[in-house]
Structures are given as structure tokens and as C-alpha cells.
Amino acid sequence: MQALPAAGPRRRLTSHLSVVVPLYNEEENVVELHRRLTGILNGRGIPHVLYFVNDGSRDGTLERLRKLASTDGRVRVLSFSRNFGHQMSISAGLAHADGDAVVVMDADLQDPPELIPDMLDGWAEGYDVVYAVRRKRKEGTLKRAAYALFYRVLRRISNVEMPLDSGDFSLLDARVVGLLRSFPERNRFVRGLRSWVGFRQTELAYERMPRRAGEPKYRIRHLVKLALDGFFAFSTVPLQLSTWLGFLAAGLGFLYLLYALASRFLYQNPAGWTSLAAIILFLGGTQLILLGVLGEYVGRIYEEVKLRPLYIVDEAIGFPEEAHGAVTRLGGKSP
């Protein structure tokens, strides 16, 4: 995939900018996030609506959001019936966000709101996607190395040119949001889909801040799941692995057969059971691994065909359309 190179025609906001923020147990960050966001947006005179998606938090996040919505008419809150995950919260936010463009950012202020005006400048120049790229990660060496490896491998094996070191922090033109919204798939790796749509994309370098307060919500298990989603949703290379390994094993097996025959008939020295055990273990192991790879795809197909909604909205606060039932409570069902 190669995005269109140059910027398109210049444009400006005709209605407003939407900001989508997923939140899971972020009670310590809600108020400060809102203060920084409105500070920069009001300071620059950018008309905006804030979409906060409460992803089944167990702490006081929802109460604080409720309070914000009662004092700031530009705050809208979607609250899930349980925890559906980061990518689903973003999807829900995108499903309801309106305006000329939408910014997606984390709640823990690792993504500085002060970058939004620059993103908007990129959009005004005609870019449809402006994504932030981390200049430096302030995380442990191990996590950093894992991220670097992940993005590089993904880039090699996926059919999309996914930018290195970019997360979900980005600005999307309304047209791109409309497209992402129309994707029915369950395994939603938003940053991958964002590259996949194409159009004019550009990057903006920034320093990723350390999380302001609270624990990171992404445990290693979730990161691994996200990484696997990235691999399996955007590449069928792992499926071809078995073909190549099969050729390799068959080739090696043939060579070994020649060797075994030679040692049996030329040197009267039959190969013993040790070598047999080694070969069986090697082949058995390879087959199990490849079954696992197949399983990853089959499992994902199963998830897709069930056609369950992506998420369930328990409560929608601050939506003007609320009274008319315009808030979709079941994500993923056709509107």
C-alpha cells in the first residue's frame, strides 16, 4: 500500500473537531485531561466536541465523566456495559463522532493534547490522516525492544505499509472515519485499518510522555493479543509458513534417506533409533506449531461469523439526539 503522496486542497473546519478518548479506570486523569484538552482547543479557538468512552471502568471514572458532562455541554459520554477493550472503545467513539475531523487519543496524557493544533494544520493542508509517531519511548528497554521488533516484523509480513512506531494517536478526516465505521470486522486493529484505507497520510513526530497517573491498563497478555491481531488480521504469511517448512523438511528427509541408505549398504552401519526419535520429535513439533497457526485463523473466522455486536452501550450522556434514540447501543450491527 502506498498512500497518495502530496497534500490535497486546503480546507478549514466548517462545523467542529471531535476528540475520541477511551477510558478504563482513569479516575485520576479525567479532570486533568479535560482541562488540558479544553485549554488548548479553546485557546486556539477550535470548535470541538469531546467523546469519552468509558470502557467498563471499576473506579470513579464514570462519575467524573458525568460531572464533566453536566458542566461542559461539549462533553459526550458513552459508557459500556462491561470492559470491551481499548480498540472497541475507539471503534465506539468513531461510530458516534461527528464533525469535519476526529482525533483519537489516550486518556493518560501520554498523547499530549497540545499536538492537536499541529495535526489540524496537517489536515487543513489536505492530509486525510495525520498520525503521531513517537520520537522516543520512555518505557523499559525490554518493552521498547518488543515494540520495535513487532512493528518491523509486521511491516515485513503484512500486505499494508504500516508506519513504524505509530500508535492510535491520530487525526482522521470525516471521510476516513466513515470508512472505518463501515468495516464489519471484529478483530479491530485500528492503526492497521487506518493505514489500510490509504488516502493522503502524513506523520508528526512527538515525544511520548510517561503515563500521568494510574497503572498501565495494558498487561503483557493484552499487548501480545494486540500483536497477534496485527499479524493475523493483516497477513496470511503465517499460513504459507507450513508450505515452506514442508518443502524444507521433505528436502532434508530425502538427503537423510540417502545418507541412511549409504551407511546401511556401503558401511554396514544402520542408523539407530536415536536419529529416528529426533526426526519424529522434530516433525511432530513442527506440525503442532503449524496446527496452532491454522487454529489462530480458524478461531478468528469463528469470531467473525458469529456476528455479535462489537460492544454494548449501557448509557449515553450528553448526546442531544439521546431523546430520539439516535445513539447506537449495539456496535457492529448495521445502523
Strand, helix or coil for residue 85: coil
229 counts as binding Mg ion under rule CB under 5 A: no
Q: Which stretch binds Mg ion (CB under 5 A): 89-97, 104-112, 278-286, 295-303?
A: 104-112
Nearer to ligand UDP, 139 or 296 (CB): 139
What order of strands is seen across the sheet that includes strand 48-54? Answer: 201-206, 129-134, 166-173, 101-104, 17-23, 48-54, 75-80, 311-317, 330-331
Nearer to ligand UDP, 170 or 200 (CB): 170
Q: What is the 3-state secondary structure (H, E, C) of 36-74?
A: HHHHHHHHCCCCEEEEEEECCCCCCHHHHHHHHHHHCCC
Taking the C-alpha atoms of residue 318 and residue 99, their distance in angstroms, rounded to an integer, is: 16
- Closest approach of ligand UDP to the CB of residue 281, in Å: 39
Nearer to ligand UDP, 213 or 326 (CB): 213
The only residue of 61, 110, 166, 201 in contact with Mg ion, by rule CB under 5 A = 110
- Closest approach of ligand UDP to the CB of residue 309, in Å: 17
Identify the helix (H) or strand (E) that includes residue 172. strand 166-173
Q: Which of residues 46-85 bind Mg ion (CB under 5 A)?
A: none
All 3 cell numbers of residue 281? 520429535
Taking the C-alpha atoms of residue 94 and residue 238, their distance in angstroms, rounded to an integer, is: 31
Q: Which of residues 206-245 bind ligand UDP (CB under 6 A)?
A: 211, 216-218
CB 79 within 8 A of CB 318: no
Strand, helix or coil for residue 81: coil
Strand, helix or coil for residue 324: helix
- Closest approach of ligand UDP to the CB of residue 182, in Å: 22
108 counts as binding Mg ion under rule CB under 5 A: yes
Taking the C-alpha atoms of residue 64 and residue 82, their distance in angstroms, rounded to an integer, is: 17
Nearer to ligand UDP, 83 or 287 (CB): 83
The only residue of 34, 48, 74, 86 in contact with ligand UDP, by rule CB under 6 A = 86
22 touches which of Mg ion, ligand UDP, none (CB within 5 to 8 A by kind)? ligand UDP
217 touches which of Mg ion, ligand UDP, none (CB within 5 to 8 A by kind)? ligand UDP
Taking the C-alpha atoms of residue 105 and residue 111, their distance in angstroms, rounded to an integer, is: 6
Q: Kindly write out the interface string for residues 21-50 of this chain, putting x where it contacts ligand UDP by CB under 6 A and - elsewhere.
A: -xxx-x------------------------
List contacts with ligand UDP (CB under 6 A): 22-24, 26, 55, 83, 85-86, 89, 106-108, 110, 211, 216-218
- State the residues that interact with Mg ion by CB under 5 A: 106, 108, 110, 211
